[in-house]
């Protein structure tokens, strides 16, 4: 029996809708497998700014450090998206959390469920069998470099910066993962132009001899973005920087069918944070139509990576598979052939997942 304390941090927009389902899944897993999970909740993002003035209150950070894992929703609000001059912003809370908790490795698996072959705009024969694991560096790069407005506000810069140790620790994780998969690693950079990318490539090249069983290739970010859609199966494990990884994985969501299908694990020196790759999705907030599967699959990653509960993680993934096999769809993964009685909202598809799990 495992005893774990989980902090749920729903954040903004659809964050609350999808983490509600994620937490219900944890409750059923605890019951079914005889574990004791306890929960607490904390604020981040816009809701935290409204309540306390800070996008990441100290109380939230303290609770995060004390938890065995964090189930995170999303942050963001249109109020700030449309106001570039806002000094305090929801996203600052997310970035501070990643930095403070030392979450330097963001694992983003791109797993295509066979049932969703038709949900993508990419041809099924190109997609079938695609299975990619991204290692996105999460605490460096242009996200955390020096930035400034100069020239009386008429000029702005952000610094893309990487140190050797930062590249080395994420690359090692990617090499280790490649060893357990098809032994292929692709490193993505822009070394033909950027100095920080030349350092990145140098570090990856220097590590490669330590993993002689892994075949390494390097791609430039522009070509990688093209190849990902042209032939997703050519990729297995991909390692890349913070910004390139952010963009490539939103693109890769179209391999899995929807942003609502992609989970992630942010791990490093401290508590692991499990979060969908999607945002607060203002366009559908409050409508009850958000796909909760990314949050549920994030729970599966938590069970596996933070708690070492492999069978439990597998049960969660199988429950999603079962619901998809039964034909149930949320709007984002439905197509013209989906009968209306199988088209479900967040809560209803959540119930189907729980039923599958309880079987």
352 is catalytic: no
- Cβ atoms of residues 254 and 121 within 8 Å: yes
Phi, psi of 5 (to 5 degrees): -110, 120
Mode of pairing for the β-strands spanning 3-11 and 36-41? parallel
Quote the least distance from Cβ 105 to ligand IPM, whole Å. 13
Quote the least distance from Cβ 333 to ligand IPM, whole Å. 20
Query: Which span sits near ligand NAD by CB under 6 A: 111-119, 193-201, 205-213, 290-298?
Result: 290-298
Under the binding rule (CB under 5 A), the answer on residue 91 touching Mn ion is no
Quote the least distance from Cβ 91 to ligand IPM, whole Å. 4
Residue of 74, 170, 256, 263 that binds ligand NAD (CB under 6 A): 74
Q: Which residues pair with 71 in a beta bridge?
A: 8, 274
Chain position whose Cβ is nearest to ligand IPM: 91
Mode of pairing for the β-strands spanning 265-267 and 69-74? unpaired
Q: Which residues pair with 343 in a beta bridge?
A: 329
Q: Could you give the 3-state DSSP secondary structure of residue 316?
A: helix
Nearer to ligand IPM, 24 or 280 (CB): 280
Which residue positions form the known binding site? 98, 108, 136, 222, 246, 250
Collect all residues with Cβ–Cβ distance below 8 Å to 72 and sequence separation of at least 6. Answer: 9, 11, 15, 19, 44, 273, 274, 275, 298
- Cβ atoms of residues 302 and 67 within 8 Å: no
Catalytic residue among 83, 114, 222, 335: 222
Query: Which span sits near ligand NAD by CB under 6 A: 100-108, 282-290, 302-310, 320-328?
Result: 282-290
User: Which positions from 198 through 257 interact with Mn ion, judged by CB under 5 A?
Assistant: 246
Under the binding rule (CB under 6 A), the answer on residue 277 touching ligand IPM is yes
Select the binding partner of residue 25 from ligand IPM, ligand NAD, Mn ion, none (C-beta < 5 to 8 A, by kind).
none
- Cβ atoms of residues 348 and 331 within 8 Å: no
Annotate 37-83 with DSSP letters as a single string.
EEEEE---THHHHHHHS-SS-HHHHHHHHHSSEEEEEE---HHHHT-
Quote the least distance from Cβ 72 to Mn ion, whole Å. 13
Q: Rounded CA gap, 18 and 7, in Å?
A: 15
Which residue positions form the known binding site for Mg(2+)? 222, 246, 250
Query: Which span sits near ligand IPM by CB under 6 A: 21-29, 87-95, 188-196, 198-206?
Result: 87-95
Nearer to ligand IPM, 95 or 132 (CB): 95
246 is catalytic: yes
Residue of 224, 332, 344, 356 that binds ligand NAD (CB under 6 A): 332
| Count of CB atoms situated within 10 Å of the CB of 272 | 21
Q: In what order do the strands lie in the sheet with 36-41?
A: 36-41, 3-11, 69-74, 272-274, 265-267, 105-111, 131-137, 237-240, 184-189, 215-220
Nearer to ligand IPM, 55 or 350 (CB): 55
Query: Which span sits near ligand NAD by CB under 6 A: 70-78, 144-152, 179-187, 189-197?
Result: 70-78
Quote the least distance from Cβ 80 to ligand IPM, whole Å. 11
Q: Residue 55 burial (CB < 10 Å; 0-12/13-18/19+)?
A: buried
Under the binding rule (CB under 6 A), the answer on residue 285 touching ligand NAD is no
CA distances in angstroms from 308 to 38, 111, 300, 301, listed in the order given: 17, 20, 10, 9
**Residue position matching structure tokens 């403070």:** 100
Contacts to ligand NAD by CB under 6 A: 14, 18, 74-76, 81, 91, 94, 259-260, 275, 278-284, 290-291, 294, 332
Contacts to ligand IPM by CB under 6 A: 91, 94-95, 246, 277, 279
Q: Which residues are catalytic?
A: 143, 190, 222, 246, 250
């Amino acid at each position: 029996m495992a005893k774990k304390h989980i902090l749920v941090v729903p954040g903004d927009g659809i964050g609350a809708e999808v983490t509600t389902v994620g937490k219900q899944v944890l409750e059923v897993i605890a019951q079914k497998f005889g574990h004791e999970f306890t929960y607490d909740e904390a604020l981040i993002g816009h809701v935290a700014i409204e309540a306390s003035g800070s996008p990441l209150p100290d109380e939230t950070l303290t609770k995060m450090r004390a938890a065995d894992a964090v189930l995170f929703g999303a942050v963001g609000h249109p109020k700030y998206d449309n106001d570039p001059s806002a000094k305090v912003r929801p996203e600052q809370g997310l970035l501070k959390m990643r930095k403070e908790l030392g979450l330097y490795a963001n694992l983003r698996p791109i797993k295509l469920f066979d049932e969703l072959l038709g949900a993508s705009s990419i041809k099924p024969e190109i997609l079938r069998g695609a299975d990619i694991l991204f290692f996105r560096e999460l605490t460096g790069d242009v996200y955390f470099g020096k930035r400034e407005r100069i020239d009386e506000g008429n000029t702005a810069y952000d610094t893309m910066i990487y140190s050797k140790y930062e590249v080395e620790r994420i690359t090692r994780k990617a090499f280790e993962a490649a060893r357990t998969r098809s032994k292929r690693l692709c490193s993505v950079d822009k070394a033909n132009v950027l100095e920080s990318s030349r350092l990145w490539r140098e570090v990856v090249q220097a590590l490669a001899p330590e993993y002689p069983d892994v075949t390494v290739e390097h791609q430039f970010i522009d070509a990688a973005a093209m190849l990902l859609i042209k032939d997703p199966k050519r990729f297995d494990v991909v390692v890349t920087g913070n910004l390139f990884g952010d963009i490539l994985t939103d693109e890769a969501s179209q391999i899995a069918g929807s942003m609502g299908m992609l989970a992630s694990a942010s791990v490093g020196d401290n508590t692991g944070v499990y979060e969908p790759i999607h945002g607060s999705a203002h366009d559908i907030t409050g409508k009850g139509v958000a796909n909760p599967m990314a949050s549920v699959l994030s729970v599966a990653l938590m069970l596996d990576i933070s708690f070492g509960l492999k069978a439990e993680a597998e049960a969660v993934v199988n429950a999603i598979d079962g619901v998809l096999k039964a034909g149930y769809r949320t709007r984002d993964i439905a197509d013209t052939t989906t009968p209306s009685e199988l088209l479900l909202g967040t809560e209803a598809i959540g119930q189907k997942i729980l039923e599958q799990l309880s079987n």
